[in-house]
Structures are given as C-alpha cells and as structure tokens.
Amino acid sequence: MIHAWSSYEKYAWGQDELQQWVATSLDFNKNYEASVLETTIRVLGGLLSAYDLSGDKVFLETAQDIAARLLPAWNTPSGIPSKRINLAYGNANNPGWTGMREKVSWQILEQGSLNILLYLKDKGPHVPEEGGESTSSPIYTFGAMGDREMWEISMEGLRSLIRRTTPSSSAYICEKNGKSLSDKMDELACFAPGMLALALYNGPREAEKYLTCRRGLAWTCYNFYQTTPMKLAGETYSFPAGEDVSVDTSWNILRPETIESLYYLWRITRNKTYQEWSRNIFQEFERNSCIETGYVGHKSIKTGIKDKYDAKFLSCRDA
C-alpha cells in the first residue's frame, strides 16, 4: 500500500475526477444521471469514512447532501432501489439493459447501502424522510433485527441460484434471466462468501445454514485466480459441463471481492487456509501487477498485456 499510495501521489495527485476540496468545490447539484450503487459505495462511503476518521463535519454535511439526492431512488413499490437517478431533479429510472441478474444482486447489495443512508438520517436534519421506511428500532444491520426478513428472502434467492460444476462439484452462483438460468458467474459476485461468513454473528442456526455455501463459493472464487496462466482472475467465467470453469471475459481490473471475502472468512473462522489463499493471490498481484508507478490491471490475463493504474485500487484495499 505504501508503494501504491506513493506512486499515486507522485504521478496522479489531483488528476482523478473527485480530487477537489470538498468544502469549497464539491457540488452535487448537477443535471447528471448517476449510478445509485456506485455513488453510494464510492462517493457517500468515501465521505462517511473521511468524517469518521477526521471528525470534520464538512464531510458529514456533504454526505448528507448526496444522500438526500439518492434517497428518492428507494421510492419504488418493491423497496428495491432504482439503478440510476438524476442528482439535480431526483428522477430515478432503470436502464433497459438491466436484467434479473442486476435485480437479484441489488436486492442483496443495496441493503447495505440503505443502511448507510438510514444511518445518515439519524445523524442530522438535512436528509428528508421520504424514500425510506420508518422503523422503531435505532439499529440497522444486514441480516439481523429490522432487516431479518429482507436478509432471509435474499438468501433464499441466492441459494436457489447455486449450482455445482462437473467433475469437481465446485459451487458457483449462476445468472437468472427471466425463467432461464445461465452457467455464468462474475468475479464481482465473490463478495458473497464474505457476506455469508458474517451470518456467523447471528448464531449457530444461521452459521450452519450457510456453511456449505460460503466454503464452496470461497473455493470457486480462489480458483478463479489459480486456474489462469497468470494466476489472476478474469472478469467473468462460465462452467461448461465436464470442464469445471472457463474464463469468458479475460481482463483484470484489480477487483477486491475475492480477497476481501477471504479476509472476512479468516478473521471470523481463524482458518489459516483462507490466510494462505489470500497470500497466494497477493503474491501474484506483486509479481504481475506491481510496476514502478503503482499497480496495473491487465487487458487480458491470457496475454499479459497491461492496462491502466486505477486509483480506486487504493480505496478498495481496506482489508
């Protein structure tokens, strides 16, 4: 991380699109259609982190501003947020290309985003009440208390999408489009083993229920790395009968999902296997992605052609 940060500071400081002084220049009142997910996890999450670390209320006030602009996305019959929203006018919509995969993943992922927004609502007066359901409990958690029902529904949906490869019987999360299931999985979905590991905090029943899922998915995600020539994961995979796993989209953009899940699994279970897998992945990043100016992705893990150094690599490596 020292090498990554030093290189970013030396070669790219001030060049990324959000590198402005929040107090004087950051203005979200733009006629711009933003991704609710990306804005929540990167912009809102970054501002909250800055506030928690510094205690400077300018970060909290700015976070409240962007949260207020995002909240109308939750004004839907199902409670599942719209995918995009205009930051100036509050008009929310779902692009035509989004399908069942995005809807299912959002139902799981965005509960965490909603928790952040609800947290903000308790922190100050600037976030309006519309857009979220009220609750008598001050505690907002993923998979417990007020969110138990949504957690159970989401997990049943997740488990219904788990299939096994042949011949090794490794678990993976397939895609669903309408009534059809497709034997494909994104590396991005490798957040799931870590998420399931957190079910341990909810007691023995939940821990046992999701034990097989998290172990199997963690192994599959680790093998996304181990089965390629460079031992770096591609972006998407398919699971043809008799071949276990095959890379479909071969670029690598330094995604954190697998190694973050392994981190949670190790911290919660203290099983050193997960620590060893993490070390193996880290060593391949060092061998294949570390250059003089930082860390780079690859246009193809089959050819080894290097791509750009993405500054979000720093923010995604908090584990």
Angle formed at CA 256 by CA 109 and CA 182, multiple of 5 degrees = 60
Q: How confident is the model at residue 308 (pLDDT cuts 50, 70, 90)?
A: confident
CB-CB contact of 209 with 215 (8 Å): no
Task: Say what the pLDDT of residue 30 is.
Answer: 92
CB-CB contact of 214 with 197 (8 Å): yes
Task: Say what the pLDDT of residue 139 is.
Answer: 33
Look at the block and give the residue holding tokens 């591609």: 234
Q: Which amino acid is at 81?
A: P
Kindly report, residue by residue over 53-62, the tens digit of the pLDDT. 777 888 888 8
Bridge partners, residue 92, by sequence:
85
**Residue 134: pLDDT above 50?**
no
Return the higher-pLDDT residue of 140 and 223. 223
pTM, rounded to two decimals: 0.67
φ, ψ for residue 175, nearest 5 deg: -95, 150
Kindly report, residue by residue over 245-259, the tens digit of the pLDDT. 999 999 998 888 999
Lowest mean pLDDT among 48-52, 177-181, 225-229, 306-310: 306-310
Lowest mean pLDDT among 199-208, 249-258, 290-299: 199-208
Task: Say what the pLDDT of residue 155 is.
Answer: 79
Alpha helices, DSSP H, located in 14-147 = 36-38, 45-54, 57-70, 100-123
Task: Say what the pLDDT of residue 124 is.
Answer: 41
Query: How confident is the prediction for the chain on average, in pLDDT?
Result: 77
Between CA 33 and CA 109 the distance in angstroms is 20
Lowest mean pLDDT among 101-115, 153-167, 293-307: 101-115
Between CA 200 and CA 203 the distance in angstroms is 6
Percent of residues, the chain, with pLDDT higher than 70: 71
Q: How confident is the model at residue 109 (pLDDT cuts 50, 70, 90)?
A: very low
Q: Which tokens belong to 162?
A: 């788990």
Lowest mean pLDDT among 164-178, 192-206, 277-291, 298-312: 192-206
Is 61 labeled as catalytic in the residue annotation?
Answer: no
**Residue 137: pLDDT above 60?**
no
Task: Say what the pLDDT of residue 11 is.
Answer: 67
Q: Which of 65, 186, 244, 257 is catalytic?
A: 257
| Residue 172: other Cβ atoms inside 10 A | 24
CB-CB contact of 244 with 168 (8 Å): yes
Is 16 labeled as catalytic in the residue annotation?
Answer: no
Return the higher-pLDDT residue of 107 and 236. 236
Task: Say what the pLDDT of residue 55 is.
Answer: 79
Q: How confident is the model at residue 306 (pLDDT cuts 50, 70, 90)?
A: confident
Cα–Cα nearest to 127, from 52, 54, 47, 49: 47
Q: Which of 175, 235, 244, 260 is catalytic?
A: 235
**Residue 132: pLDDT above 70?**
no
Mean pLDDT of 209-237: 90
Is 147 labeled as catalytic in the residue annotation?
Answer: yes
Q: Which of 147, 175, 206, 260 is catalytic?
A: 147
Mean pLDDT of 279-293: 90
**Residue 198: pLDDT above 60?**
yes
Task: Say what the pLDDT of residue 173 is.
Answer: 92
Kindly report, residue by residue over 148-186, the tens digit of the pLDDT. 666 777 778 888 889 999 888 999 999 888 788 899 999
Kindly report, residue by residue over 3-43, the tens digit of the pLDDT. 776 776 676 665 543 434 666 778 899 999 999 888 888 88
Is 9 labeled as catalytic in the residue annotation?
Answer: no
Kindly report, residue by residue over 268-283, the tens digit of the pLDDT. 889 999 999 999 999 9
Contacts of 249 (CB under 8 A, 6+ apart): 234, 235, 236
Task: Say what the pLDDT of residue 33 is.
Answer: 94
Q: Which of 16, 38, 152, 243 is catalytic?
A: 38
